[in-house]
Structure 1
Amino acid sequence: MKEYVEELQERRRRAECLGGQQKIDALHAQGKKTARERITLLVDEGSFLEFGKLNVSEIPGYEEKSSGDGVICGTARVDGRPVVVQAGDKTVFAGTEGAVHIRKTKAAHSYALKRGLPLVNLSEGGGLRMPDGMGSDGISDKLFPQEMLTHHREVPMVTAILGDSFGGPTWLAVSSDFVTQLDGTCMGVAGPRMLEIATGEKVTEEQLGGVKVHEEFTGQIDQSARSEEACIKQLKEFLSYLPSHGGEEPPFSLSSDSIDRPISEVLSIVPEKRNRAYNMIKVIKELVDDGEFFELKPVFGPALITVFSRIGGRSVGIIANQPMSYAGAAGVQECEKATDFICLCDSFHIPLIFLHDIPGFRVSSDAERGKIPTKIMMWNQALAQSTVPKLSVVIRKSVGAAYGNMCGPTMGADFVVAWPSAEINFTGPEVGINVVYGRELMKSENPKLERENLLEKWSFDSSPYKAAAKHLIDDVIDPAETRKFLARTLELACYKNGSKSERKLANWPTGF
């Protein structure tokens, strides 16, 4: 038995050397970490339990240089919670996917779903390996795995793109609930070399799928960072707001921040003049526990803010308009961002809070070509089907159809309230007056005075008191009491079933 154990230990030792010391040294020389080092950064000390450690490629002659077949998989704990983790190994065939590699990752994904464990992907790799995938037999059992296609948000799936990633790692990323990308890496369907051979197009990796491309244009990543440590920290922070699976509520994280704390500072943050911009992030900081929050897609669709935070210790998702960008008016990107966030929160039982300051949608010929009517209605459809508790506060203005998209009356909110400064109308007073009275004002002897009189009248019509008087909204509240209001109504909304939703949006695609 001693000889058998010694042989096992030797095989394990060789497996831990990945693709060999020379390739490990080359990675370190580039300032990069190995797959095993990345796992160590992620998981609680001593908690990693590897499976498939003795895997090698099934292609004859490759056994001695294919430890793990390009991926490390196992279970571990992250901040005390069990997870399944898989990390692409760049030192073995550039992290490409052979038959054993694919078999192992499918088993990891299946186990995560079976036992309700979050799936964490530390991704880097070059897609399907040529020898393994060639021929009608090679490709026929290596298409998209059903575990990924029918994931149904049963467990959170998060991905860090920590090196150039094509094919499989990209499919995983765009199917994930959260994606962070390391600066200087590329994520795409195929790399620049393949693109040049196939189409003749010459681009750099940064131009093809760098951080800027995905942050500003595709929205396929939620955050980015300059170091692997920072990317992995983002994964852990994101997971802290979510349950381990769709059958439980998110964890509580109580603080000493009183729910009765007045937030009088917001009076100096939000300007009295309605055409002056301010940073809605500052309002959010005042509202939430200890001023802490986690923002998703800060660059994509910048006129809309989506953050995770806590109020009274309970995880919440906040959708807020950002007057610092396009005066808070939503365009195509903002619509996609809102839909994606609503689906995420509803699937994992995270109550939604809407903070309105929106003058409408950014309509234009470009927006029409971007299918903005469809995007607006997708947002509305997701909102209508969501069943988590929803609270809605009109901070300064909510105009036209956008009032509905931000969960105004009749859109399923538990409560809709407004600050006394709120302006609610079919259109803004200035625009409405120009449309209705434009010709009369042109003929007026004193158009300035007449416009001011009309603005005063239309401003009164837009105030929240008329809607409150007819019980079309639930109340007009003191801005300083907004945190207290949200905390107490959250408790009411979660009294019967907690924050659990019916998960109607769990099957909604992770991209549009």
Structure 2
Amino acid sequence: MTWQPEIDELAYRKQLASALGGAEKVARHKAAGKLTVRERIATCADPESFHEIGALTGTGQYDAQGKLIGLTPANLVIGRARISGRPVVLVGDDFTVRGGANDGSIGDKLIYAEKMARDLRLPMVRLVDGTGGGGSVRNIETKGHTLIPTMKVWQHVVENMSLVPVVSLALGSVAGMGAARVAASHYSVMVKDSSQLFNAGPPVVARAGQHIEKNDLGGSHIHTRNGVVDDEAASEADALERVRRFLSYLPSNVFELPPRGEINDDTNRRDEWLLSAIPRNSRSVYKIRPIVETLVDNGSFMEMGRYWGKGLVTGLARIDGWPVAVVASDPYHYGGGWDGPTAEKFTRFVDLAEVFHLPVLNLVDIAGFQIGLEAEKAGIMRYGVRALAAVYQTTTPWCSLILRRAYGVAAAGHQHMGRYNFRYAWPSGNWGSLPIEGGLDVAYKAEIEGADDPVQKRAEIEQRVRSLTSPFRSAEAFVIEDIIDPRDTRRLLCEFANLAAPLREPGIRKFGIRP
């Protein structure tokens, strides 16, 4: 006698589970241009690397003799896999079973997966396509009672944010706790036109009197512009590839250091066009992304959050193979001034760098926080102070490159002044507590108003003051440590990356309360 009958039943149950919600629902799902959960996992993970856990979970149907005749599988697939050879935890919602609405047993699988990522210290990858919460209204009739909303998984979600990289993709209509799981990530992506995210979907919103289509309510064009989600992908395949690329810059957990990548660029590369990258006219704008892409290793810059907080460009890159976090002012938006979303974007990105031990490269051209009535009403100073606190709570190595302007309280946070940091300026740099244009009329008010020709007097004073604003004057007083030829920047950044690498320290970072 052997256990072959049970082995046969095991295979039969797995076969039933692999059918997902059935041929009709799978066909409808694929007709909408979407991959099934198992196809997504196969695309995301290295070939043959996925080890499923809880494959038999579901609701069985039995005949009068107790023989299994059918199985509705759980609509959450979890397991371990490898991405680019690195072990990860993969979690995928199955929309073909109950539209991805989770019940209690699925909640247990969610908790199990988050614990697995935490205790094995593995990156967490969530492929979200449903509510991921307490299920639908239909559960009331099934259970015979209602439930007080709870989030038993949330303790583990929060813990993992401080321990392992967390990536979430919204791959369908994601609502409630499913939406929260997407937002509670270090990196999140939506698929253009085929995924939506909302607190409550159109049917619930309609009951409140607002009739709106799902993509108009929560499409990627909304949430990649307000910062709820980081990026927008053109397709599911594009979104899944972004997972692989994002993880390549990070360690598997905070107890490790970001791995050095391939060295594929010349450390001494000098690009002549950098001499004219910054216009001599301080009112002219310029494109910051080409500058970033030139200074880092060729093809290594991965921008994050392109469509929100537009006063800054943020992303991951490599310098001489070493992963770094890049922050760069974008003068094309708000004239280089920071609004609330820009300050929030900066704070979140600096926190990512600190948690995962990424040295920071900060390309500075800051006109200050935004001014005016609307900026004051929006509470810009609160956002700004949080951003300053983020800088002064960092311990990761930091290099600031002042490209042009550095004015006001916003510029005061271009690096942590209480510890040693690398800092360079290009000859185009100029700085101060506030721009001359804005402060002249206040500082010299009496002299200007008392002159026979106030306009001429103001022009004379401005010329006199401007003669003292050369960065070379600041260098004489050691206000700026080093003014460099822009063409030498890459060589110096490679030195920074190599000196910073042995200074990175693994472990959990602890933050104080941000104001």
Give the one of 108, 125, 128 matched to 1:123. 128
Summarize deviations over 1:319-350 as a string: whole Å, max 9, x none: 11101112211111100000000011100001
Could you tell me which of 87, 99, 115 is aligned with 1:82? 87
Aligned pair partner of 1:348 in 356, 359, 364:
356
Aligned to 2:198: 188
| Alignment CA distance shift 1:373-1:64 (3 Å) | farther
How high is the TM-score relative to the length of structure 2?
0.91
Equivalent residue runs for 1:288-299 within 5 Å = 288-299=296-307
Q: In the alignment, is residue 72 of structure 1 matched against residue 81 of structure 2?
A: no
Cα offset, 1:248, TM superposition: 0.8
Task: Return the alpha-carbon distance in structure 2 between the equivalents of residues 508 and 121 of structure 1.
Answer: 28
Residue 3 of structure 1: how far off its partner (Å):
2.2
Task: Name the CA distance, whole Å, in 1 between partners of 2:327 and 2:339.
Answer: 15
Residue 395 of structure 1, CA deviation: 0.6
Instruction: Choose the corresponding residue for 2:255, options 247, 251, 254.
Output: 247
User: Given residue 396 of structure 1, which amino acid in structure 2 is its aligned partner?
Assistant: R
Counterparts of 1:312 and 1:471, CA distance in 2: 29
Matches within 5 A, 1:369-408: 369-407=377-415
Give the partner amino acid of 1:386.
T
Aligned to 2:433: 426
User: How many correspondences in the alignment?
Assistant: 504
Q: Is the 1:289–1:313 Cα contact (8 Å) retained in structure 2? A: yes
Aligned partner of residue 256 in structure 2, secondary structure? coil
2:211 is aligned with 1:202:
yes
SS in 2 for 1:373: helix
Aligned CA distance change for structure 1 residues 422 and 178 (closer, same or farther; 3 Å): same
3-state SS in 2 of match to 1:456: helix
Bigger mean CA deviation after superposition, 413-422 or 38-47: 413-422
> Aligned residue for 1:498?
504
**1:263 corresponds to 2:271:** yes
Whether the 8 Å CA contact 1:161–1:181 is kept in 2: the answer is yes
- Does the CA-based 8 Å contact 2:255-2:508 persist in structure 1? no
Helix, strand or coil at the partner of 1:320: strand
2:152 corresponds to 1:174: no
| Residues 20, 508 of structure 1: alpha-carbon distance in 2 compared, 3 angstrom cutoff | farther
The corresponding residue for 2:157 is 148
Partner SS for 2:402: strand
> Are residue 110 (structure 1) and residue 115 (structure 2) matched?
yes
Residue in 2 aligned with 1:33? 35
Instruction: Give yes or no for the alignment of 1:473 onto 2:475.
Output: no
Match of residue 49 from structure 2? 47
Write the distance in 2 (CA, Å) between the matches of 1:430 and 1:309.
36
Q: Is the 8 A contact 1:395 1:419 kept in 2?
A: yes
The answer to whether the 8 Å contact 1:493/1:499 transfers is: no
1:440-476 CA distance string (max 9 Å, x none): 5566566666545433333343333333333333211
Q: What's the CA shift string for 1:81-107, capped at 9, x where partnerless?
A: 110001110011001111111111110
Partner in structure 1 of residue 368 of structure 2: 360
Structure 1 residues 181 and 65, CA gap change in structure 2 (3 angstroms): farther
Deviation, 1:2, is 2.6
Q: What is the alpha-carbon distance in structure 1 between the residues aligned to residue 103 and residue 88 of structure 2?
A: 24
User: 1:5 aligns to what SS in structure 2?
Assistant: helix
Q: C-alpha displacement at 1:159, in angstroms?
A: 0.5
**How high is the sequence identity, in percent, across the aligned residues?**
30
What residue number does 1:233 align with?
A: 241
Counterpart code for 1:22? E
1:404-453 Cα distance to aligned partner (Å, 9 max, x none): 1222x726451222112210111112222233345655665666665454
Change (3 A) 1:58 1:247: farther
Which secondary structure does the structure 2 equivalent of 1:301 belong to? coil
Q: Superposition pairs for residues 312-331 of structure 1, below 5 Å? A: 312-331=320-339
| Deviates further, 460-469 or 300-309 | 460-469
Q: What is the SS of the residue equivalent to 2:89?
A: strand
Task: Provide the rounded CA distance (Å) in 2 between the counterparts of 1:440 and 1:60.
Answer: 95
Letter in 2 for 1:186: Q
Partner in structure 1 of residue 295 of structure 2: 287
Change in CA separation of 1:59 and 1:366 when aligned onto 2, cut-off 3 Å: farther
Please point out which of 8, 22, 44 is paired with 1:20: 22
TM-score (norm 1): 0.92
Displacement, 1:224? 0.4
The 8 Å contact of residues 58 and 99 in structure 1, kept in 2 or not, is answered as no
RMSD: 2.5
Partner of 1:95: 100
Relative to structure 1, is the Cα distance of residues 479 and 66 closer, same or farther in structure 2, using a 3 angstrom cutoff?
farther
Specify which of 214, 223, 231 is matched with residue 223 of structure 1.
Answer: 231
CA shift for structure 1 position 375: 0.5
**Could you give the per-residue CA deviations for residues 463-502 of structure 1, whole angstroms, max 9, x where no partner exists?**
333333333332112211111112212322333x336476
Q: In terms of mean alpha carbon deviation, does 172-181 or 200-209 score higher?
A: 200-209
- Which whole-Å CA distance do the structure 2 matches of 1:501 and 1:461 have between them? 46
Q: CA distance change for structure 1 residues 66 and 191 in 2, over 3 Å: closer, same or farther?
A: farther
Range 207-216 or range 70-79, more displaced: 207-216
- SS of equivalent residue, structure 2 residue 344: helix
Q: In 2, Cα distance between the equivalents of 1:322 and 1:257?
A: 25
- In structure 1, how many angstroms separate the alpha carbons of the residues matched to 2:8 and 2:379? 64
The 3 A distance-change label for structure 1 pair 482 and 502 is farther
1:163 matched to 2:172? The reply is yes
Instruction: Give yes or no for contact 1:257–1:289 (8 Å, CA) kept in 2.
Output: yes
State the AA in 2 paired with 1:196: A
Structure 1's unaligned 5+ residue stretches are none
